[in-house]
Structure 1
Amino acid sequence: MGDSTWKVVFGETGTTNDSVYTQKVTIFSANGEVLGTFKGSSTPNPFKPSDPSIKGEEAYPFISEGSYGVTHGTHKGKPALVVNNNQFVPTRNKNPNFPDYGKRANYIHVHWGYKTTWKGSAGCPTIHPGQWKDFLAKVPSGSGILVVP
């Protein structure tokens, strides 16, 4: 890989046998060693809980494929990973919650999913709730890179 930064890599959809957290998430150390693999999702909740008739890209922004800086921070007051210092990241679709933003979203965090049956995310990549504590414990300190397919 050539660089010496740890990475959290979300695999393609369908790389786990889970129906909600369908992406294998691998944590790599700075020297490329696998520190752990988990179930996650880099796509948001498929519906808006306040109005379940609003689905998919109409409900939430989907962050674009790419690599983003990530650091330790908080989500709703609990430890999480903060993407791009809470600044804007590009999205595949217009941000339906903030139309003025266009195809971008901010305050994107890697955090725990709220339920095993429901991602509970408005655009953030999430980790299976049963694996979150173990995931967070395996993420190295300092800054790393988040890779989204």
Structure 2
Amino acid sequence: MNIETVNELIQSLESAGDLSIREQKFLKLAKAFKQLAAENLTMNHLLTDISDNHVEYFSEGEGCMFAGVPLDYVSEINMYVSRDVNAENPFPATDRIVAGIKADGVEEFVSNTVHKIFDESGAVSALAYLSLANSHVKQLREWADK
């Protein structure tokens, strides 16, 4: 499915009026797909700009040759990336996906740890720890569902 097909799907669903729950889910998914595609394009432009704005060098020694980036360019690239990314987050859809993945990991940790609590002493402090972990999962899920 290409971006034109997604745009047509979004336009068709938005002009349809009252949508079924299934159609609403398709519309939400199509919009997320479109945003993710735009973010991938932005990331590609950032990486292209970075690679176009530094000079690689070759070094020979000890019987081998390698390419790298001089240290002054590394700091320049770091400054360039942090300036662009920190100014306005160009990757909110990607961040939501990552937040969901992180929440899955914490959730799995909690479910695996619950069984161990009752086998060990100090269950009270462990339960407090699990409560904090669950609270963190909820926060990540809220961000992932935006």
Q: What TM-score bracket applies, with the shorter chain setting the length?
A: under 0.3
Q: TM-score, normalised by structure 1?
A: 0.21
Higher relative contact order (CA 8 A, sep 6+): 1
Q: Is the helix fraction higher in 1 or 2?
A: 2
The structure with the largest alpha-carbon Rg is 2
Q: TM-score, normalised by structure 2?
A: 0.21
Q: Is the strand fraction higher in 1 or 2?
A: 1
